[in-house]
Structure 1
Amino acid sequence: MNNSTSPDNSGGSDGGGGSSDALNWVALVVSLVALVGTLAQVLQQYIASAAGYSNCGESVMGKWHESKKRIFRPTELRFEVQFETPVIFVCPATNKNGPVRNQPIHFIDGTSESLRKTRALLPKEEEAQRQTLQEGRVHTADNERASWVTLLSQLQSMEKESQEWQQQHYKNNPPQPFPPADFRSHTLAVALQAKKRSWDTMPADVRKPYATTTICHLLEIAAMMGIYWKEFDRSGDRYRAEGNGYMLTGTNVPELGLLFSFQICGKSKFRENRVIPVDEVKELCCGFVSTLFQDDSRDRRRIEFPNEDPKDLSFLQLGSLREIAETMVLIECNTDTANYFRSDDTKHGHLFPVPFELLGMLGKTLHIRNSAFRMLPNPTPYHWDKNFFNLRRLVKEYWKKIHDSEADLPPTDQVLQLENDAKDLLAALDADKRSKTPGNSLPLLNKLHDILDGCDAFLKAADRDLVRMVVREHFQEVLKLINDKSGPGVDADSRSTQSGGYQQRRAEHFDELTAASPEERQEAFMDLYFFKVLRKVRERAVMSYRRRQTTRYAPSVRSRAVSVDSVREATDETMSTPASATPSRPISPGPSPTYLGTQDGAQSTVPLLHVQPPDRATQPLAGMDRTVSLESQASAIWCTLVLRMLCWLLLHDFNKKDVQIPKSELLGSRQPVYIA
C-alpha cells in the first residue's frame, strides 16, 4: 500500500510546487512594478525639486532658454535650476568695460551678428515665433513672454531701421565729402552682458526671469526709444512712460525692488525722430545741459556729483522751475529775474519759453556731422511747440536787422561775419526747400553746424566775464519786458495810426507778439530784440563789466560813505556832459583818491582798502576808446548769441509731448532696477 500511494504523494507534491512557483512569479512582478513605481515617484520628486524649470521655456525667454540647465546638489538631494539673463546698460560704442566681470560685451546695433550674440530676433521674426509656439492665439492675449525679450527685439529694430533710413537719406542728398556717420561714431549705445542666475534666488512674487539694469540706464533707454515720462512718483513708487507706440510701467516688488514692464501698444518709428546717439543725452534726461564752455580736454562722461550745485557755466540745470531759478542765479541775474520762475503769476515765454533761448545760446552742439538725426530729450518743464513761430522766418528777420543801419551796430569783423553767416544760412534754407529731404537735408544741417562752430570759437575767445554780463543782462531785460504789465501803451497805438499800419512802426512790447499775425510775428520779435533789448543789454553789460574790472579800492566795512566808483562816475559825467544832455554810454573813471570825500567837503579819516589785482595795477585805463571797444564787443557777443540760439534750435529738435519731470538726483545713479 505504501508503494501504491507513493506516486500519488509525489504527484501531489509536484502539483503544489507549480502553483507556488506561479504565485512567486506573480509576487515578483508585482514587486517589480511597485519598485518601478516607487523609483519613478522618487525620480519625479527629484526632478520636481528643480523649481522654475518650466518657467524658463522658449515661450518665456525666447532664445535665452537655451541657457537653462539643472544642476544636482548631492548634499541637498535636489536639483537647482540655473539660467542666464541679460544685464543691460548704456555706454559708448567703443566701451570695453562692463558691470559683469570676465564676460564679453555685446552691443545692440541691428546686425545679424548682434542678433546672434544677444540671442534676439527682429520684431517680425519674434512675432512669427510667438505664433508658432502659442498655436496662433491672439496677440493681445499673449502674456507669457518676458517683456525684456521684447525690449531687446525693439532695440535691435531701432538700430536697424534708423541706420537704413539714414543710408537712404544720405543717398537722397547731394554727394558729401565724408561718408555718413556709422554706429562706431555713437557715444550712446545699448549693450548687454549675460549673467548666470539661479531660480533659488527668485522672489516669491516673480514668476518669470528678469533682466537687470540701473535707473539711470533705464531713463536713457526710454529716451532713446522715444518714450516720455507721464508719471514719475518716487515716494509712491508709481512710474509710467508712453510714446512711439510703447509703454513702460514700474512698481515696487517686495524682496526685489523696482520692477518695470515693457509693452507694445502701437506702431513705432525710428527715422527722423531718432534721438541723437551722443553721451550728453544722459544729462538731458535728468534736466542737465552741457554748455559750449565745457572743458573737453578731460574724460568727462557725466557730472561727478549731480547733487552739488554747478559752480560755473559748464553745466546748466533746467529740469524744474526751481532749478531754472537757481541757474539764473548762477549767471548772476538779480533776484527779481530768479523770482519770475518761483512765482505762479509770472510769464516765462514770448514766442517760445525763455529757457529754450538759454539752451540755444549756451547749449553744446550735439548734432553729429553727416548725420540726419536731430531729436533730443527735453531738459525743461516746458512744451516745445513750433506751431506759434517760425524759426526760418526768424533767421530772415535777423539778417534784415543786423544788415539794417538803424540797428546801430559797429562794423566789427565779427558783426560782418555774422551778417555773411546769416545770408549764407538763408541760401541754405532756400535750397533745403527744393531738396528731396526738405527740412532735414545734410547741406543745411552741416551749414548750421559750421555756423555754430564759428560762434563757439568767438565766444570762447571773448572775455568770459563780458559774455556772462551780456547773457545776464539779456535775460534780465527779456523777462522784465515779458512781465511788464504796462502794455504797449497809448503812444504805440497812436504811432501805428499815424504811420499807416503795424508794419510801419517798430514793436515796443512783447504783448504785441500775441496780437500780431503769423506773417508779422517774427518781424516784431526781432524789432524788440535789436531796437530795445540790445541797447539796454549793451549799456548795462558794459557798465557792469567796467565796474567789476576797474574798481581799484573798496571802502572799509565800517564806512558808510558811497563807493569810489559812484563818486567818480558822477564827477566825470558832471564835468564832461552838458546839463541838458544824457550820456549815451558810461565814462571811464579817473584816478581814485586815497580818501573818500564826505558830503560837507571834509576829508574822511577812513582809509580805503586796495583790492586791485596785481596784473591790472600797471595797466592804465583807456578812457573813452576803451568804452567804445567794450560796447563793440558787447554788441558782437549779443548778436553772436542770438544767431547761435536760432541755429541751435534749427539743428536740434524736441518732441512736443516731451516735458521734463524733476529727477536731477538720478543722473548717474546706479540704483538697480529690473525688467520683468
Structure 2
Amino acid sequence: MGRWSALKRRIWRPTELRFEVQFETPVIFVCPPTNTKGPIKNKPIHFVDGTPLSLEQTLSLLPHDQEAVRHSFQQSGVHAADNELASWVTLLSQLQLMEKESREWQYYYSNHGLPHDVPLVDFQSHTLAVAVQAKKRSWDTMPSSVKKPYATTAMCHLLEIAAMMGIYWKEFDRAHDRYRAEGNGYILTGSNVADLGIMFTLQIYGKSRFEDNRVIPVDEVKELCYGFVSTLFQSHVRDRRRIEFPNEDLKDLSFLQLGSLDEIAETMVLIECNTDTANYFRSDDTKHSHLFPLPFELLGMLGKTLRIRNSAFRMLPNPTPYHWDKNVFNIRSLVMEYEKKISDSDTDLPCGPQIEALVEHATTLVHALRKDKHSNTPGYSMPLLDTLHGVLDKCDEFLMEVDRDLVRMVVREHFQEVLKLINDKSGADGDDDTKSTYSMGKLRAEHFDELTAASPELRQEAFMDLYFFKVLAQVRERAVMSYRRHRTTPYRSSSIVGTFEGNSLSPSVTPSQLVSPLLSIQPPVRFPRSDDGDDAIMTLESQVSAIWCTLVLRMLCWLLLHDFNKKDVQIPKSELMGSRLPVYIA
C-alpha cells in the first residue's frame, strides 16, 4: 500500500477473540479544482497537482522516490518487487508525475514565447483534475479472491483518467468484460472479479512522457472520451458538471456525436443532410476521407476552442473512429494555400467586410507561421498559438452574429457536396493521363482522386483548388436556393426559430413554435423574398460565401491549434458518459 500503510490498524474484538484489520484506501475521481463535494461526505478532498503538499496529502511518492524506497528495502534484506505494490499506488505516483512534468515543461516552453508580463496558467485555472478521498475499509469485507487492498473509482472517471495519461483503448468488450488499453508506457487491463465487479490493473512497460503530449486539462475532455464534441453554439450557462444526455438523442448542434460510423451518420441527419449523405457512413463501400477523414473537418468547423489561453497544451482525446495521420498532408501549407485563394481575384468572391476581414486574418496567420519557423520553439510557438486562438475567436464572433439557420445550411450543403465528390465514380474511371495532370501542375484539380495522384508539394494546392473553384460554387447555389425556399414556405419543417411575418422575425414566439433548439432568436433582420430581385440574391450569395470561407478558415485554425495522437481512435462507448458504475483498481 506504500505510504497508505500508515493508516492501517488492528482493532481487538473481544466477543470474537480476534483482531479486525482496518485500513484506508483512496476513492479516485475527476472534477474541477474548485470542487468542494466528493463521493464521501464530510471527508477532505485532496487534488493531485504534483506539489510537495499534494504528495503529502495523497500519501504518494514520485516514481524516482518510490524506486529509492524500494531499493532501500532490498538493501536491508526485505525484497519488494514491483508487482508487490498495489497498482493504484503506482497510479497515484504517475498522476503526480504527470502534473509535475507537464508544469515544468510548460514553464520552459512558455518562457520562449510568452511576454514577461503575462502570467502562466496555474493549476487553479484548469477545469479538469484528479482528486482523492480516503475511505475506511475492513479486511473482513474483502472478497476471497482479492489479496491486496483496492482503490475505488467510477467507470467514467477511469476512462477520463486513462485519456489524461495518454492511454488509448485497444479492446473494450463489455459483453465478456475484457478491457485493455495501452500508450505512453502504460498498460491498463480490466476483467470481472467474482463477488466484487470490474477490476483494473495498471502496469508500466516503458518510459512515460508528459510534455507536448499532455492532454488539455479542460472539462470538455470528458465528452471527447465518449465521442461527444461541444460546439461553438453551446450555451455557456450550462452546468458542465452534469451530463444531460448519455442515453438521449441529440436535438441540436450544441453537441456533435462522432464516436462511431452510425453516430456520425446520425450527426449528418442532425445537420439535415440528405439520406444519401448519411448512408455514406453506413456503407462499407464508400469513402469518408480526402486528405484526412471528413469528421475532423466537421470537428474543426464547429468544435469549441478548447485550448487554454497562455497555455502550451494542445493534445485532445480523439472523438472519432478514424486515425489522425498528419504524414499524408501538411495543414500549414493548407493555410498558406487558403490565403492565396481568398486573396485571388479568380475565385470570384464577392466583396464584403467579412471577406476583407478573412483576407486580413489569413495574411496575419501566414506571417505568424513563417515567423514560427525561426522561433526558439519552432513548430508551435506561443505567439503562433495565440494568433490561431485569436483568429478562432474572430470567426466565432461572426458565426454567432449571422443567421444560424443559414450557417447550418452552408454546413449541410458543404458536406453533401464533398461526400458526393469523394464517392463520385466518374472521376475514378478516368485514364492515367487525366489523373496525373495535377502532378505536373498544369490544370486545376477537378476531382478528389487527383489529390492522391498529386505530388506532396502540390497536394495542398489541389485541395484548395477543389474547394474554392468547385465546392464553393455548388454550396453557394444550393444554400441560397434552400434558404430562400425555407423563408418563403408558410408551413416548413426547418430548424428556423420563430415565425416569419413579412421581412422580420415575429417577437411573439412561444416554446411550441420553436422547431429546433439549434437557433436562438436573432435580432430582426431583412431576408430576401422571392420577389426581391437580383440584388437580394447577390446579398444572400455574399453571406453564404462569407460563411463558407469563415468555416474553412476556422477548420484549419482549429486543427492547427489542437492535436490528436496518431494511435488514438474512438471505440464506441457513448452510453458510458457520466456512468457511476463502481470499478476497482487492484
TM-score (norm 2): 0.91
Letter in 2 for 1:272: D
**Which residue of 221, 246, 252 corresponds with 1:281?**
221
Letter in 2 for 1:481: L
Helix, strand or coil: the match of 1:438? coil
**Which residue of 274, 285, 293 corresponds with 1:353?**
293
Q: Distance in 2 between matches of 1:342 and 1:617?
A: 40
Q: Distance in 2 between matches of 1:635 and 1:165?
A: 42
**Which residue of 476, 481, 499 corresponds with 1:538?**
476
5 Å-filtered alignment, 1:576-595, equals: none
Which segment is superposed worse, 635-644 or 177-186? 177-186
Structure 1 residues 379 and 209: CA distance shift in structure 2, 3 A: same
> Offset at 1:130?
1.5
Letter in 1 for 2:453: A
Helix, strand or coil: the match of 2:398? helix
**Which residue of 99, 103, 106 corresponds with 2:43?**
103
Contact 2:323–2:569 (8 Å) recurs in 1:
yes
Aligned residue in 1 for 2:159 = 219
Gaps of 5+ in 1: 1-60, 555-589, 591-610
Which segment is superposed worse, 141-150 or 63-72? 141-150
> Offset at 1:452?
0.3
Letter in 1 for 2:210: F
Q: Distance in 2 between matches of 1:617 and 1:526?
A: 33
User: Going by fraction, where is helix more abundant, 1 or 2?
Assistant: 1
Q: Deviations over 1:551-580 (max 9, x none)?
A: 1368xxxxxxxxxxxxxxxxxxxxxxxxxx
Aligned residue in 1 for 2:12 = 72
> Offset at 1:140?
11
5 Å-filtered alignment, 1:497-512, equals: 502-512=440-450
Letter in 2 for 1:665: E
Structure 1 residues 200 and 483: CA distance shift in structure 2, 3 A: same
Letter in 1 for 2:550: T
Q: How large is the RMSD of aligned CA atoms in angstroms? A: 2.4
Aligned residue in 2 for 1:262 = 202
> Offset at 1:73?
2.0
Larger Rg: 1
Q: Distance in 2 between matches of 1:470 and 1:92?
A: 36
Gaps of 5+ in 2: 493-501, 503-514, 516-520
Structure with the bigger RCO (C-alpha within 8 Å, sep 6+) is 2
Letter in 2 for 1:446: D
Q: Distance in 2 between matches of 1:471 and 1:529?
A: 13
Q: Deviations over 1:557-605 (max 9, x none)?
A: xxxxxxxxxxxxxxxxxxxxxxxxxxxxxxxxx9xxxxxxxxxxxxxxx
Aligned residue in 1 for 2:537 = 627
> Offset at 1:622?
3.1
* Residue 383 of structure 2 is aligned to residue 453 of structure 1: no
Aligned residue in 2 for 1:182 = 122
Q: Distance in 2 between matches of 1:138 and 1:344?
A: 59
Structure 1 residues 619 and 249: CA distance shift in structure 2, 3 A: closer
Aligned residue in 1 for 2:361 = 421
Structure 1 residues 133 and 663: CA distance shift in structure 2, 3 A: same
Structure 1 residues 177 and 351: CA distance shift in structure 2, 3 A: farther
* Residue 253 of structure 2 is aligned to residue 313 of structure 1: yes
Aligned residue in 2 for 1:82 = 22
5 Å-filtered alignment, 1:603-614, equals: none
Which segment is superposed worse, 296-305 or 356-365? 296-305
> Offset at 1:143?
1.5
**Which residue of 436, 453, 456 corresponds with 1:515?**
453
Letter in 2 for 1:639: C
* Residue 298 of structure 2 is aligned to residue 388 of structure 1: no
Q: Deviations over 1:343-386 (max 9, x none)?
A: 00100000000000000000000000111110000000000000
**Which residue of 116, 119, 131 corresponds with 1:191?**
131
TM-score (norm 1): 0.80
Q: Deviations over 1:96-148 (max 9, x none)?
A: 11111111000000000000000000100001112222448999953110000
Q: Distance in 2 between matches of 1:101 and 1:495?
A: 67
Letter in 1 for 2:576: L
Q: Distance in 2 between matches of 1:514 and 1:503?
A: 14
Aligned residue in 1 for 2:277 = 337
**Which residue of 155, 160, 174 corresponds with 2:95?**
155
Contact 2:47–2:129 (8 Å) recurs in 1:
yes
Structure 1 residues 139 and 330: CA distance shift in structure 2, 3 A: farther
Aligned residue in 2 for 1:164 = 104
Letter in 2 for 1:523: E
Contact 1:496–1:504 (8 Å) recurs in 2:
no
